[in-house]
Chains A and B, each alone.
Chain A
Amino acid sequence: MLLETHGLVKRFGGVVAVNAVDLAVTEGEVFGLIGPNGAGKTTLINVISGQLRSDGGTVHFAGADVTRLRPDQLARRGIARTFQAIRLFKGLSVLENVRLGGFVRGGSPQGARALLERMGLAARASALAGELAYGDQRRLEIARALAAEPKLLILDEPAAGMNPTESAALRVLLRSLGAEGITTVLIEHDVRLVMGACDRVAVLSFGRKIAQGTPAEVQGDPAVRDAYLGSDEDA
């Protein structure tokens, strides 16, 4: 297991946003995290990547307990992420953003240019990050995360704001990352992307994990359907 959580808990006042969640992500897979709005997906990855302190449970990464580490320490150990609300260094150039993504690796301009090429952003290298179109900003954030050569890449709704062509290209990219030894945790609402890109999927609802399995298994799970559409008893 590359990433494991045991009984992970995060409370905000009286609300239990993440409630005793166990996850186990295998090396090289694309692991999907889905669930209705407010299910606790983003909170869960904020705890895993160190932005939030957990209120209980543990996180293990590459065999070590990393529960109490800061985001910069986790980045150094090989966890890179993107943000649901894009957090680029928008007053800096596109190239500079990717170089900063490679901060822990020394951030060479050559490596950064190669990544921009791969993400189709090479022509905009000297633009300011804030000047890019929305879909391009999402791709730049992924390029910045990849520049760290991470073991684990966490993507929080990367396809939000992308058109179908862009999201299809993202699916191809996600499939190729596994072959390069990069494990991915993907939060996404785009069903086609989740079904097409993920090896396994976990479903969160009200902070709890209610189902896990291959995309096909999860899709057929009655509990999952209830979580999204409401159960008959509620109706």
Chain B
Amino acid sequence: MDDLAAFLAAYQTTIGFIGLNAMLALSVWLTLYTGQLTLGNAAFAGIAAYCSALLTMKAGFPFPLALACGAVLAAAVSVPLGATVFRLRGVYLAIATLAFGEIVRVAILAIPITGRGQGLVGIPPKTELWHIFVSLVVIAVVLERLRRSTVGRAWAAIREDEIAAASQGIPVRRYQLVAFVLGALVAGWAGGLAAHFDFAIQPDEFGFARAVQILVFAVVGGIPNVLGPIAGALLFTALPAILQPLQEYRDIFQGAILVLVIVFLPRGLATLVELRRTARLRTIGAEDVA
């Protein structure tokens, strides 16, 4: 028991970020599962991080309420954005959501109350590890149940063939928008927790590099179910700590692991448990994330 306590104390930051990253990976999983590639989730996390941090710091909001406000704001912003950009497909959709992320970053730099380039410092460190992991479990269970429900089956149909899905009576745009807005809500919740975990936030933490990193967690982890993104976030958040002894060669090893997973498990770590199904899917040339 003492060992566990010592371990938690030594690696508290890394463990916390595993949970936070897992939530962000799940947020982008939602849109990937419907067959859409979006890169706006770092920005949603950023919006919620700044919103909730400002509410606790300057307005004296209670922590849970500030978290909820941040997440709801991120989701509210995602509605008009999603309604506009879901006319686009594939890489064009990815670029449009990326542009949105840049707008958010530049807006944060321009608004004085955010502390601009210096970021916000002195955020009350209210996030405990158990907040992060209870949130993660709740989100993962809800999303997996949703995946197995009628809604999740409609998402899978849309991913497989949008035209055929519409012909079965599935309102495609609406279902895609629901996935996108839920993703923003989850990213926003994670962003608020991150802001109060780290004690300071900066605009660059929610920029392009972060958006791509979140995508890597989800894609390397795998899309078939919610365990994939969690596994991806765990691997890539823990690796820098595990590879610490390699020092300056650390990034090379991390890159090599990424390449190996993509080459040998193109459908992600989660497909390790269903290799035969993966082979069958490949034979018939089904969608990569099925």
Residues of A at under 8 Å CB distance from B? 49-51, 70-72, 75-76, 80-81, 83, 87-92, 96, 99-101, 103-104, 106-107, 128, 130-131, 144, 148
Contact = CB atoms under 8 A, between A and B. Distances in A.
B18 to A, nearest CB: 30
B280 interface: yes
6 closest Cβ pairs, A-B complex: A91-B286, A130-B284, A91-B290, A75-B169, A89-B160, A104-B169
Q: Interface extent on B, as a size class?
A: 20 to 34
Given A72-B170, A75-B169, A128 B284 contact: yes
Contacts of A99: 153
B157 A100 contact: yes
Contacts of A148: 168-169
Most interface-central of B160, B170, B290 (chain A CB within 10 A): B160
A88 B156 CA distance: 12
14 contacts: A50-B166, A71-B166, A72-B167, A75-B166, A76-B169, A80-B167, A89-B160, A90-B284, A90-B285, A90-B286, A91-B281, A91-B284, A92-B157, A131-B284
B197 to A, nearest CB: 38
B283 interface: yes
B136 interface: no
Contacts, number: 89
B154 interface: yes
Contacts of B161: 87-90
Given A49-B167, A51-B163, A83-B164, A72 B284 contact: no
Given A83-B164, A107-B150, A128-B280, A92 B156 contact: yes
Most interface-central of B156, B166, B168 (chain A CB within 10 A): B168
B164 A89 contact: yes
A72 B166 contact: yes
Contacts of A89: 156-157, 160-161, 164-165
A135 to B, nearest CB: 16
A96 to B, nearest CB: 7
Contacts of A107: 150, 153
B171 to A, nearest CB: 5
Contacts of A88: 161, 164
Contacts of A49: 167
Interface string B116-150: 00000000000000000000000000000000001
Contact of B168 (A90, A104, A131): A104
A66 to B, nearest CB: 14
Contacts of B167: 49, 51, 71-72, 75, 80-81, 83, 87
B287 interface: yes
A90 B290 CA distance: 10
Nearest to A71: B166
B172 interface: yes
B36 to A, nearest CB: 16
Contacts of A51: 163, 167
A103 B167 CA distance: 10
Contacts of B157: 89, 92, 100, 103
Nearest to B172: A72
A86 B285 CA distance: 14
Interface in B146-198: 150, 153-154, 156-157, 160-161, 163-172
A130 B170 contact: no
Given A72-B166, A130-B284, A90 B150 contact: no
B285 A103 contact: no
B123 to A, nearest CB: 44
A80 B170 CA distance: 12
B174 to A, nearest CB: 9
A225 to B, nearest CB: 35
A106 B170 CA distance: 12
Contacts of B170: 72, 100, 103
Contact of A128 (B165, B168, B281): B281
Contacts of B286: 90-91, 128, 130
B86 to A, nearest CB: 14
A99 B287 CA distance: 19
A146 to B, nearest CB: 12
